[in-house]
Structure 1
Amino acid sequence: MTDHTAPLLDVRNLSVSFLQGGRETKAVDDVSFSLERGKTLALVGESGSGKSISALSIVRLLPPGAMATGEALFAGQNMLTISEGELRAIRGARITMVFQEPMTSLNPLQTIEQQIAEILELHGMRGREATRARVIDLLGEVGIPNPEARLGAYPHQLSGGQRQRVMIAMALANKPDLLIADEPTTALDVTVQAQIIALLERLQQTYGMAILFITHDLNLVRRFADTVCVMQKGRIVESGDVTSVFTTPRHPYTQALLTAEPKGAPIVEDENAPVVISADDLRVWFPIKKGFMRRTVDYIKAVDGVTLAVRAGGTVGVVGESGSGKTTLALAMLRLIRSEGPIVFLGSRIDGKSVAEMRPLRRDMQIVFQDPYGSLSPRMSVAEIVAEGLTVQQPELTLDARREIVARALLETGLDPSTMDRYPHEFSGGQRQRIAIARAIVLEPKFIVLDEPTSALDMSVQAQIIDLLRDLQRRRALAYLFISHDLRVVKALAGQLIVMRHGKVVESGPAATIFNNPANDYTRALFAAAFRNQPAPVNGEA
């Protein structure tokens, strides 16, 4: 008989070690915590602190070579020692997981209906009609509009927020007792984040399930969790109810985490500084073709009449939800996709130039991407990655000359030049993003697009990267186009702000003015979601 007074999950003295090159490395060291039914416990800390490894240990999903000791008692059963058969009966039914990036968790070759139905059938549901009815109910429950029409959709046909809702539907399919949510909102816009958190809260009340919530976003923890455990280097350094830990943190590491948000003000833009790049009534329309003759019947107006100018030493921030046209705008200005409307770079129009004509200009325009894990080749050393542009643009340089320039770029971005012959996997996420920035600045460009450069990073590392970008801009008079869904980061770096929705600019001007007094309803909704963690209205697109 189940003891409902005992914690649903009781982790005792959990340790996890990895064998690497004959040496044992401890990733989790003597961790203990408990979680009651219907409550939310947050595990917080920087990357590598042991949060995800602790959670994966509970359901025995650790990578090969990992060894877990201690106890992970779920409803009285030690998950570390039960049989494979008992584990299969619990995993996916009574304990389920939602991961950070749904595109890597969902099967791109299966429809949404097939993937949710598979979970139901694995745990006993029979009958196609009953299964389909349950899938439709689940999609409706997680807020997918017109769920019956979405059954045949594939993951790539859904937005990021909709994909995450599908993952939650799969997790809830068998009415679990415990949901493990591992960074479930990190890749989402602030309004969609707020909607997903509100959805989890509502579903928790409906199902009475416990939630183990893993995140580096302390603002979400403040709003969503009942209790919190702060992890550092595999150990829990502080724990308790959220209010007491956040208002009176005792451990220096907790205090540092709570003050780690990006600070400082953007560099004051010189109104007389030359315009590095500008666009006037820029349009990127993708044709919609139908019928046997593939005639164009309409257009997706990804960017629709955007005008902007970026000055030397200045930053224009671009914000808006997924699908608003932010990245498409940046790619058009870099002439990486076709567009209509004048684009002027360093005093000359470039919108009509060919690929060959653009090649000499590439050294003056660079881009830093969101994901430092995916944007660096794992097969190239840091020296090769950073020097790649030099090899193309300045082939006359000797190997020693290239290495000297690479060393200076690494030093300027806060990296040790002696590490240049190592590979990306040997660096942390923050260090990898510094490598990506070094690759961008090595050619001494005039204009850099920063496309969500901090969203995959912990808050303390975000603050370091923003300080680095601001310092580089001050010393080199760099012009930045800064795309982000994290408005706190934008506020710390951007002097000018553009708010986009459905490809159009709904508000623009000095960032300080817009942040202090937004004039547009959509802008106010974005700010409410970002700064007050209030759920934004569901618009059917998230």
Structure 2
Amino acid sequence: MKMTDIEKQVGDFRLRIPQLQLEDGCIHGLIGGNGCGKTTLAKLMMGILTPDSGRIDREGLTGREITMTSQRPYLMHTSVYENVVYPLKLRGEKPEESDIRPWLTRCGLWKKKDQYAGSLSGGERQKLSMIRAMILKPKFIIVDETLSNLDPDSVKLFEQWIREIQEQSAVTWVLISHQLSHIYRMSDQIHFLSQGELVVSGPARELLKNCGEERLRAFLDRESLDRT
């Protein structure tokens, strides 16, 4: 996906992206302080928002091939199981219980498959949201703070899951998280926003270990990233 000369006004906030290239099959970390424009940018990628000016080239990707999860996911007012299978049914698939069980079992939700999804804890909702996104097997997945409330073991589970998916099909990921250690472990490329502006992009290890850009260095120092 390539974005060129993008501007978007949302209330008093203005996002400016002169140029952003998201290389296919890579894991991209989108970082920056609160209110810097990360979620607005993600919604532009997804197509939820339309830029006021500029161009987004999705390079052949269709809406069915892009999905996004959020920190507070929307769940249907039905069971955990139906929340997983309904998007598949919309795409004309007929999932069997044997296909769904491994996904829910792996993150500890199989025994709650008949439970009302709205009664899940915040962390369980986020797990369900991630499963619902991954099971569609899209080509482009945006994860907007979806792993932020999970315990460390659950974060490691989904990190391993993402790596396994990459080994099989090399999906393009955009990870948005305040957990910079997670971004550091997972990302191939980093894109840093500050006050609505894309400041710098580049290889994750290079930018997070030895960055000369003053605003990014100050941000990393404030966040106390452990880069060992």
TM-score range, shorter chain: 0.7 to 0.9
1:477 is matched with which residue? 170
Shift of 1:313: 2.6
Could you tell me which of 361, 380, 384 is aligned with 2:82? 384
Which residue pairs with 1:344 in the alignment? 57
Alignment equivalent of 1:332, drawn from 19, 33, 44: 44
TM-score by length of 1: 0.38
Q: Which residue of 1 aligns with 2:115?
A: 422
SS in 1 for 2:6: strand
Equivalent runs, 1:183-262 vs 2, <5 Å:
none
Equivalent position of 2:143 in the other structure: 450
Label 1:345 to 1:368 Cα distance change in 2 as closer, same or farther (>3 A): same
Q: Which has the higher contact order (CA 8 A, sep 6+)?
A: 2
Query: For 1:28-64, what per-residue CA distance to the aligned partner results, in whole angstroms no more than 9, with x for missing partners?
Result: xxxxxxxxxxxxxxxxxxxxxxxxxxxxxxxxxxxxx
Task: Name the structure 1 match of 2:199.
Answer: 506
- Equivalent residue runs for 1:91-490 within 5 Å: 277-286=1-10, 300-301=13-14, 303-339=15-51, 340-347=53-60, 361-371=62-72, 374-377=73-76, 379-394=77-92, 397=93, 401-404=94-97, 407=100, 410=103, 414-415=107-108, 417=110, 419-424=112-117, 429-490=122-183
**Residues 458 and 419 of structure 1: CA distance in aligned 2, closer, same or farther (over 3 Å):** closer
What is the one-letter code of the residue matched to 1:330?
A: A
Unaligned stretches of 5+ in structure 1?
1-276, 289-299, 349-360, 534-542
Instruction: State the 1:383 CA deviation.
Output: 1.9
Question: 1:409, 1:363 → 2: CA distance?
Answer: 23
Task: Provide closer, same or farther for how the CA distance between residues 518 and 312 of structure 1 changes in structure 2, counting only shifts above 3 A.
Answer: same
Query: Counterpart of 2:95 in 1: which secondary structure?
Result: helix
CA distance in 1, matches of 2:105, 2:185: 21
AA paired with 2:16? Answer: D
SS state at 2:19 partner: strand
For the 8 Å contact 1:430–1:465, the answer to whether it is kept is: no
How far apart, CA to CA, are the structure 1 residues paired with 2:225 and 2:23? 32
Answer whether contact 2:123 2:149 (CA < 8 A) is retained: no
Deviation at residue 331 of structure 1 after TM alignment: 0.2
Query: Does the Cα contact within 8 Å between 1:313 and 1:474 map onto a contact in 2?
Result: no
Q: Is the 8 A contact 2:180 2:225 kept in 1?
A: no
Q: Distance in 1 between matches of 2:148 and 2:107?
A: 20
Deviations 1:54-91 (A, max 9, x none): xxxxxxxxxxxxxxxxxxxxxxxxxxxxxxxxxxxxxx
**Secondary structure of 1:384's partner?**
helix
* Gap change, CA 1:412 and 1:366, over 3 Å in 2: farther
Alpha-carbon separation, structure 2, partners of 1:461 and 1:524: 29
CA distance in 2, matches of 1:306, 1:461: 36
Kindly state the Cα deviation for residue 499 of structure 1 after the two structures are TM-superposed. 0.7
- Give the CA deviation at 1:347: 3.1
* Distance in 2 (alpha carbons) for counterparts of 1:323 and 1:284: 14
Structure with the greater alpha carbon radius of gyration:
1
**Aligned residue identity for 2:88:** L
1:306, distance to aligned residue in structure 2 (A): 4.2
Deviation at 1:412, TM superposition (A): 8.5
TM-superposed CA distance for 1:321, in Å, is 0.8
Q: Please give the alpha-carbon distance, in whole angstroms, between the structure 1 residues aligned to 2:210 and 2:100.
A: 45
* Distance in 1, Cα, partners of 2:179 & 2:165: 21
| Alpha carbons of structure 1 residues 329 and 430: separation in structure 2 relative to 1, 3 Å | same
Distance (Å, rounded) in 2 between the aligned partners of 1:386 and 1:278: 31
TM-score (norm 2): 0.85
CA deviation after TM superposition for structure 1 residue 460, in Å: 3.0
Matched pairs, number: 225
Deviations 1:110-156 (A, max 9, x none): xxxxxxxxxxxxxxxxxxxxxxxxxxxxxxxxxxxxxxxxxxxxxxx
Question: Aligned equivalents of 2:223 and 2:199: distance in 1?
Answer: 18
Distance across 2 between alignment mates of 1:495 and 1:513: 10
Distance 1:435 1:381 in 2: 11
Change (3 A) 1:404 1:482: same
Asked whether 1:518 is paired with 2:211, we answer: yes
Runs of 5+ consecutive residues of structure 2 not aligned to the other structure: none
Provide the rounded CA distance (Å) in 2 between the counterparts of 1:411 and 1:475.
20
Q: 1:477 to 1:528 in 2, by over 3 A?
A: same
Letter in 1 for 2:26: G
Q: Distance in 2 between matches of 1:466 and 1:310?
A: 20
2:55 maps to a residue whose letter is P
Question: Does the Cα contact within 8 Å between 1:407 and 1:420 map onto a contact in 2?
Answer: no
Is the CA contact (8 Å cut-off) linking 2:75 and 2:118 kept in structure 1?
no
Write the distance in 2 (CA, Å) between the matches of 1:426 and 1:323: 30
Secondary structure at the aligned position of 1:461 is classed as: helix
